[in-house]
Structures are given as C-alpha cells and as structure tokens.
Structure 1
Amino acid sequence: MGKLIYDGMEVEFDDRALVHLQIVIGSKLRRGEGFFFSWHDSSSIGDGRSSVWLHDNIPLYFKYYGSKTPALNRDWLEALTSSANSGQGLLLMAEPVPAAGAAPDAGSGPDAE
C-alpha cells in the first residue's frame, strides 16, 4: 500500500493504483488544470466516498512501499484520464482487464529511464 499525501492529508492506495493515479494527476497538474479527485473509502473508515480538489499550487507526494514500478495498463490510464477530464473529475475505478493479447507497458512508469 502506497500513500498519496496532499495538503496534510494522507490516503492509502495500492501501489498499482497509485502509479496509474500519479500519471493521470501529473498530466493534469502539468497543464495547470485543477480538478476533483474522488475515491471510495475502505470499510475501516466508514465505507463512504471522499473527494479532494487538486491544484498545482499545493505540494503532492506519492509514497510507494514496493521497490518496483508496476506494469502499466493502458486501458486503465485511458479510463482514468477520461474520468479526470469529465465534469465530475477523476474517480478511482477498478482496473479493467487488459484486452486479450495486450502486453503491459513495462518500463513506462513514473520512474522509468
């Protein structure tokens, strides 16, 4: 489980989800676009839903617990990006199953050389 730390708030996400979020969020913030980011809370904190307004003027930190960057799922990146560009903002959704025969995008994560 990794952490997204934003304006003093810490939220845990699976490293695999977090790397996909980092790419989508980074893309939006590089363009100076603020937007809502929403996710479903775990049952340990009430099983509800949370949202936060993300803006490029507030520091954002991604902390991964695994040492390897997970392979990327292009379909998930596209779905998350489409969500981020919608009026509701970025909604973390379940990872779609990759298309048959599609290879993961190895080495294209945030720390790839």
Structure 2
Amino acid sequence: MGQFIYDNTAKIELEDRLLAHLQVVIGTKLRRRECFFFTWKEDTSVGGGRRSVWLNPHTPMQFKYHGSRTPQINPAWLDALAYTANQQTGLYIIREPEGVSAAALGSQSADLA
C-alpha cells in the first residue's frame, strides 16, 4: 500500500496502481494551474467518514509508493478519474473500468492535455 500525503496533515493509504493513476490526473490538473477538491472515504481506524482537501499548486503533497516498479497505466481509468476531477464535486476514487484488454494498455500513458 502506498500513501497520498497532503500538506503533512492528511494521509490516505492506497494501492500503488491507483496511486499512480491519481498522480497523473492530479499532476495534469495542477500543471494547468487548475485547483479542485479531492475527496476520499476515511478508514474506520481514523474515525471513518469522508475527507476533502482543496488541491492547488502551492500546497505540498507526496505520492509515496510501497513498491519500486511503476504500475501500468490504463488510459480509460485516467479518463474516468479526470472526468470526476472536472466536475463540481471534484476528484474522487472510482473503480478501474473493466473490459480493457492488456494489449490495449501496452505501456502507454494517456495525454490528458
């Protein structure tokens, strides 16, 4: 399990593969200087509920991976996550779309520009 750490005040544990996809989507939006909310469900070990943070280019954040290998990027998942990030509610975690063949994934990463 990797971690997304926001301003040393908010932390969420995520699978490395999901974390890699979030990093691409968040990085793309912040490179464009687009600010937005990122919301996730808190683990019951920290009280449960939801947490939302306002992502902007000026707040430090870290993507800490457990493994040393870069996960394969699924362009369809990037598109789906980017779609949520562009809505009023902001970015939230969704499942990886099913039915995308491994051959279609290759080792490519989607250009969200």
* Structure-2-length-normalised TM-score: 0.85
Q: Which residue of 1 aligns with 2:8?
A: 8
Matched, 1:20 2:58: no
Aligned equivalents of 2:106 and 2:46: distance in 1?
Answer: 34
Residue 42 of structure 1: how far off its partner (Å) = 2.5
Residue 101 of structure 1: how far off its partner (Å) = 6.6
The unaligned stretches of length 5 or more in structure 2 are none
CA contact (8 A) 1:38 1:52 kept: yes
DSSP-derived class of the 1:77 partner = helix
Residue 108 of structure 1: how far off its partner (Å) = 3.8
Query: Kindly tell me: are residues 44 and 98 of structure 1, through their superposed partners in 2, closer, same or farther at Cα, counting changes over 3 Å?
Result: farther
Question: Root-mean-square deviation (CA), in Å?
Answer: 1.9
Residue 86 of structure 1: how far off its partner (Å) = 0.8
Q: Which residue of 1 aligns with 2:64?
A: 63
Task: Provide the identity percentage.
Answer: 50
Q: Which residue of 1 aligns with 2:90?
A: 89
CA contact (8 A) 1:75 1:98 kept: no
* Structure-1-length-normalised TM-score: 0.85
Q: What is the CA deviation profile of residues 43-75 of structure 1, one whole-angstrom value per residue up to 9, with x for unaligned ones?
A: 333342211110101111111011111111111
Aligned equivalents of 2:19 and 2:92: distance in 1?
Answer: 13
Q: What is the number of residues matched between the two proteins?
A: 109
CA contact (8 A) 1:76 1:96 kept: yes
Aligned equivalents of 1:60 and 1:105: distance in 2?
Answer: 29
Aligned equivalents of 1:66 and 1:101: distance in 2?
Answer: 21
Aligned equivalents of 1:18 and 1:101: distance in 2?
Answer: 19
DSSP-derived class of the 1:36 partner = strand
Which amino acid is the alignment partner of residue 78 of structure 1? Answer: D
